[in-house]
Amino acid sequence: MSSIKRAAVSHVVTSILACAIVVIVAMLIYLYSTVLTFHAPSSESVSNIGKIKVIGYRPGPGYLVYYVTTNEPITIKDVVIEYLNGTIACIETFPGGLKLSPDTLNTIPVIGTLLHCMRKIPDTGYVLFVTSSSISAISPPSDFKSLRNGLKELRFAYFEDEVARSNDRLYVNLSSDYWDSILVYPFAKIYAVRCHGNECGSIWTKTTTVLPIGQTVLDIKDMTLEQRYDLGPIVVVINPTYATEDWTFKIIDALGGVHTFTLKKLVSSRTKVVIDMLLLWEDTWHPGVLKEIQEGLYNPNYVIDNWIDSVVRITIFVNDTIRIHVLSEGGAWMHAFFLEPPQPSSIENFLEKDLPNDVLKAISAIENGHGYLSPIGLKYIKPYYNDIHQIYWVPTGELIDLSTVAWLCNLKTGKCVEE
């Protein structure tokens, strides 16, 4: 009887253990399907999570900078943004990989509007740091509100007008038959007011053209007039080396001329730069050109779009510093370039009043032999006369060679110093 009881007990214990194993296996399967893959793309392995540790992150104007550490050298191939439910929203791929150093604090910049987004950037979600073979780390839940808006907080402004120079004095007349203001959001929209005399037209918008990362030539000559119009007034060119190497970009203009711009190396590590880009401005582009083309009134010999009127290199660093280097300025106009403060006036007031009034104050100061510290960030004036390579550096009123100077500006304060 005792042996029968022992056998029965043994059978019961075995049954319980078998049930427990089934339950544990089921729980593991559930955890794997609902938790472990909650943060991971289905195509990647999660076996190596933990190679790097996320220390924290900081939002910038349209980007996030993550701070991470690692115990071994590692190269990040992709950064993935997910919703809280695990659905992938965006992926940013680093050309050549983003190399992280062991036993140091590394920075990983994530650029909002350069991400390849299959869905909208979420308000809150996770960031995955992916190598070529595994997930290396998953961030805590992050707030993407600033990232979701793209680089809208980063604004530039141009102002141009007919200008003359005689007896070492500048002359500009805002009541002339042409003047133009434009406000640039490099990765969002173009806002501008175009004025003739004292009458301003309505504000118009045009999406900025961002060329594919890695494109090294913009061939205007082989484009149709419609294709040139579709580029819009501003074209943004992304440096795929992120200023870690010398990189060359060429523009073939409408007449076949070749214009070469070399972006020199600025940093040793990709982790120090959010973005390095060229901003190309075409001042003859205007919304009415399509109608002119359709009506046969467009004269390509008079209005030649080349996107070389202003070529400005803009580099944003992870410390909220921006470097501005004017590579080319041309045209028979005065060009004024601004970096706006964090909270400017309304677009209407800025373009119709603030911008032209500030230009007049700057010109008056230069005419009287001294500089002008603009409250809205005026950096230089490009007058057109014999030497097209010279600009007025407004804070000092000095006439300088534009190729010899670059400015470092604080994105939070808008203040700039000569590099």
pLDDT in tens, 224-239: 877 887 888 889 898 9
Separation between Cα atoms, residue 290 and residue 188, nearest integer Å? 22
pTM of the model: 0.75
Spatial separation of the C-alpha atoms in residues 103 and 72, rounded to whole Å:
8
Q: Report, as ranges of residue numbers, the positions in the chain whose pLDDT lies below 50.
A: 1-9, 12-13, 16-48, 197, 199
pLDDT at 143: 80
208 neighbors 237 (Cβ within 8 angstroms): no
Say how far apart CA 238 and CA 186 lie, in whole Å.
11
From CA 129, how far away is CA 135, in angstroms rounded? Answer: 6
pLDDT at 33: 31
Tell me the longest C-alpha to C-alpha distance in the chain.
124
Cα 365 to chain centroid distance, Å, stands at 33
Q: Which pLDDT score, from 0 to 100, does residue 247 have?
A: 97
The ranges of the chain annotated as CATH 2.60.40 are 52-148
Pick the CATH number of 52-148 from 3.40.50, 1.10.4160, 3.90.1690, 2.60.40: 2.60.40
Q: What's the pLDDT score for residue 5?
A: 42
In this prediction, residue 259 carries a pLDDT of 93
Handedness of CA 396, 398, 363, 403 (dihedral sign): negative
Q: What angle do CA 391, 396, 400 make, to 5 degrees?
A: 30
